Amino acid sequence: MKKFLPLLVCLISALPCFSQITLSAPSSAVSGAAFTITAAGESSSAWVAGMFYYPNPPTVTNPANQNVTIATFSIAGYAYPQAATKFSTNITTTSSSPVTVTFNVRMDVFHGGGGSVTNQDQTITITINPAVTTFYNVAKSAVFTKNNCGAGTVGTAVTYTIPANTYTASTQAAADALATNALNSGGQAYANANGNCLTVYYNSAISASFSKNDCPANYTPAAGSYSYSISASAYSSTVSQADADSKALNALNTQGQSNANNLGTCNENRIGIRTMFRTDPYDATNQTLSRVWLKEPVDLTGISLDSYSASGIYAYASQYGTTKVAAGWYTELYTGPTDGNFIRVFQVNVNGEIVSYTMVQNP
Give DSSP secondary structure letters for 131-150: PPPPEEPPPEEEEEE-----
- Asked if residue 26 has a cis previous peptide bond (ω within 30° of 0), the answer is no
Amino acid at the residue 217: A
**C-alpha separations of 285 from 274, 276, 288, 356, 358 in Å:** 18, 11, 9, 21, 18
> Which residues of the chain are in CATH 2.60.40 domains?
10-129
Provide the pLDDT for residue 307: 62
Alpha-carbon distance of 52 to 109, in angstroms, equals 12
> How far is Cα 276 from Cα 283, in angstroms, rounded to an integer?
11
The shares of helix, strand and coil residues in the chain, as percent rounded to the nearest 5, are 15, 40, 45
Q: Which residues contact 4 (CB under 8 A, 6 or more apart)?
A: none
Task: Give me the pLDDT at residue 341, please.
Answer: 52
User: Rounded to an integer, what distance in angstroms lies between the CA atom of residue 241 and that of residue 116?
Assistant: 100
For residue 197, the surrounding DSSP H or E stretch is strand 197-199
> Do residues 37 and 54 lie in contact, with contact meaning Cβ atoms separated by under 8 Å?
no
pLDDT value of position 290: 87
Number of Cβ within a 10 Å radius of residue 183 = 19
Fold of 10-129: Immunoglobulin-like (2.60.40)
pLDDT given at position 6: 40
Asked if 45 and 109 touch (Cβ cutoff 8 Å), the reply is no
DSSP-derived secondary structure for 220-255:
EEPS--EEEEE-TTSSEESS-HHHHHHHHHHHHHHH
Q: What is the dihedral of CA 42, 46, 49, 52, to 10 degrees?
A: -70
φ, ψ for residue 36, nearest 5 deg? -115, 135
pLDDT in tens, the chain (363 residues): 334 334 333 444 444 444 589 999 999 999 999 999 999 999 989 999 999 999 999 999 999 999 999 999 999 988 899 999 999 999 999 998 999 999 999 999 999 877 899 999 999 999 999 988 899 999 999 999 999 999 999 999 999 999 999 999 989 999 999 999 999 999 999 999 999 999 999 999 999 999 999 999 999 999 999 999 999 999 999 999 999 999 999 999 999 999 999 999 999 999 888 888 988 777 778 888 888 898 888 777 667 666 667 778 899 999 988 999 999 888 876 544 444 455 567 889 999 998 887 765 444
Q: What is the CA radius of gyration of the chain?
A: 54
At 235 the pLDDT is: 98
**Ordered DSSP codes for 73-109:** PEE-SPPTTTS--EEEE-EEE--SS-EEEEEEEEEEE
For residues 347 and 281, is the Cβ–Cβ distance under 8 A?
yes
b vs e for 198-233, b when ≥16 Cβ sit within 10 Å of the residue's Cβ?
beebbbeebeeebebeebeeeeebeeeebebebeee
Taking the C-alpha atoms of residue 294 and residue 357, their distance in angstroms, rounded to an integer, is: 14
